[in-house]
Amino acid sequence: MTDSYTFHTPIGFLTIREEEQKLTKLFWEANSAQTMKNELHSDFLYEVYTQVNEYLTGRRNQFDVPLKYQGTQFQQSVWQELQKIPYGETRSYQEIAIGIGNGRAVRAVGQANNKNPIMIIIPCHRVIHKNGDITGFAYGVEVKQYLLELEKGMGLR
């Protein structure tokens, strides 16, 4: 059974979805008016909600929730590589491509980032261009900038 919850954060509304006590999606919700009516009725969703809020207030730098995501083998290898990027650090698209053993797959890494089903916890926001440019984030440059500044500037409180 799939369950979901949408909640307000400093970066807008986020929706979390779970299936069998595993997080399947965490995404930015563009239009949340109708989804805000749902209730948080799963202990697992409450735990994810709590951890995301702790992260967004600078009190958490690692997540401890089981994940379940679907994608191509390539996408999954990129998402696994993203999870190796330490809190407060960034990597270039090329570094991720090299990390998965295919240094020429820079554009494909960008496309896999764009398809990331579990933002923040699979930290696609930590991937930047070689020249330091932060464009190319599925949820907008402002959200990416916020997350990067949160991690670099605030650390754990």
Which residues are designated catalytic? 124
| Alpha-carbon span 79 to 99, nearest angstrom | 11
User: Distance between CA 81 and CA 44 in Å, rounded?
Assistant: 25
Give the Cβ contact number of residue 139 at 10 Å. Answer: 20
Residue 126: closest CA among 102, 151, 101: 151
| Residue 28 CB coordination number (10 Å) | 18
